[in-house]
Homo-oligomer: A and B are copies of this chain.
Amino acid sequence: MTPRQRPDDARQRALRLDAADGLARFRELFVHGDEGRIYLDGNSLGRLPEATRERLRRAVDEEWGRELIASWGRGWFDAPLRTGERLAPLVGAAPGQVAFSDSTTVNLYKLAGAALQASGERRRVVTDAMNFPSDIYTLHSVARTVGAGASVHVVPGDGVQPDMARLLAAIDEDTALVVLSHVTFKSGYLHDARAVTARAREVGAWVLWDLSHSVGVVPIELDAWGAALAVGCSYKYLNGGPGAPAFLYVRRELQERLRSPVEGWFGRARPFGFDLDFQPAQGVQRFLVGTPPVLSLLAVEVGLEPLLEAGVAGVRAKSEALTAFLIERFDARLAPLGLRLGTPRDPARRGSHVSVLHPDGYRVARALLGAGVVPDFREPDAIRLGLAPLYTRFLDVYEAVERLARVVEEGAYLRYDGTRAAVT
């Protein structure tokens, strides 16, 4: 396929790819109340699974409305660990190492804080500038408050990928902890987690992976990599709903060595014993803190099911095909218009979202939304297109690129206001 092919050829190919898609039937497990719009933001907020509606109705009307407090003993109290076990295969974790709790940020604080308090003389935290900025804020706050002189070393990148030579060189004998986003939020760069973790282990450093942009769409092998810790959110490819509770992973052999800086009753051996002394629970439970937001957590649990049924291998294969098709269409239609690709071309280094860059990207993104395609925008110039293999079609990708090309070609974006809204 070359740019010289007629547009219809690419459209026909998208239709053929959709017809041959082994995951096509999963699309019907999700609500498409926005018929007509092409939703390419499942990497930010995953679609509503049909089953979630009924699960929440039951949780509200029956469990809260009728059974009330008794529901704590009939599935609510166990939900953080039970949902963690359900997620475990998606992150390559044997049982007893994953739990749902708090937000990604709070979990990062707890685990990075625990690690720094257990790492002796080592006082260095290494991350890269492509990590989610909030993670970097949190690492600074950990260093300032519980880090006992720790410093945060941020390795620069070129905006698309990190400088791997510098990153690996920065991981040294003084390094307590390496904290990276498995897939970076803006460019969609996919770290070679096995190699980075192995390098860190060679010098005795622990690695904490933020899996927010990879979980549910990229194969993850925390146990096999030798990762120490991980955190992640559940509202993207896990389809858990807006602000759904986050998860954490603590490698089994570290669990008894680490204590969360933030301790509360849900992390205690017998939460309802109400003794005045705190004894951390055995296992990963000790990293729980307070009462979890049950409704949001039950939505996560049911939202995982389509992914578990589809299997990550098939999801990853379709994701690679979708991003490859998008980049092909980028080359055909968008590169000639002056847009730049903000995502690695090597499929092995790519997650499931693709950023296309335009100097006036905010207005272009707004115009694209006006044309019925939902992207998101990341400062200063990235139009981010997320491809969720359970419900994104190749035809969606084809159409989205065509519409994006048109709003740029026709200058439609110039009619939009570039003033940033509070939420973009």
Contacts and interface: CB of A to CB of B under 8 A. Distances in A.
A299 B291 contact: no
A129 B376 CA distance: 51
Interface in A4-45: 31, 33-34, 39, 41, 44-45
Interface centre among A34, A68, A77 (most CB of B within 10 A): A68
A33 B45 contact: no
Contacts of A72: 45, 242, 423
Contacts of A145: 113, 117, 145-146, 261
B33 A62 contact: yes
A124 to B, nearest CB: 18
Nearest to A378: B274
Name the residue in A45, A57, A69, A235 with the highest tally of chain B Cβ atoms < 10 Å from its Cβ: A69
Given A141-B263, A273-B379, A274-B133, A290 B105 contact: yes
Interface stretch (A47-55, A91-99, A351-359): A47-55
Nearest to A103: B290
B104 A265 contact: no
B48 A65 contact: yes
Interface string A241-265: 1111110000000000000111111
Contacts of A141: 260-264, 278
> How many subunits of this chain does the assembly comprise?
2
Interface in A205-235: 233, 235
A1 interface: no
Contacts of A136: 276, 278
B68 A109 contact: no
Contacts of A103: 102, 264, 289-292
A246 B47 CA distance: 27
Interface residues of A, number: 92
Interface in A59-96: 60-73, 76-77
A264 B34 contact: no
Contacts of A260: 141
Nearest to A369: B70
Contacts of A275: 133
B33 A61 contact: yes
Contact of A44 (B69, B106, B265, B274): B69
Contacts of A73: 421-423
Contacts of A241: 60, 64, 294-295
Contacts of A266: 105
A262 B295 contact: no
Contacts of A278: 136-137, 140-141
A423 B102 CA distance: 20
Contacts of A289: 103, 105-106
A272 B379 contact: yes
A354 B113 CA distance: 40
A312 interface: no
Nearest to A71: B242
B134 A265 contact: yes
Given A105-B290, A105-B291, A140-B278, 13 more contacts: A33-B66, A34-B66, A45-B72, A56-B295, A104-B291, A106-B106, A133-B265, A138-B264, A140-B263, A146-B261, A186-B274, A242-B295, A274-B379
Closest 3 CB pairs of A and B: A103-B290, A105-B290, A33-B66
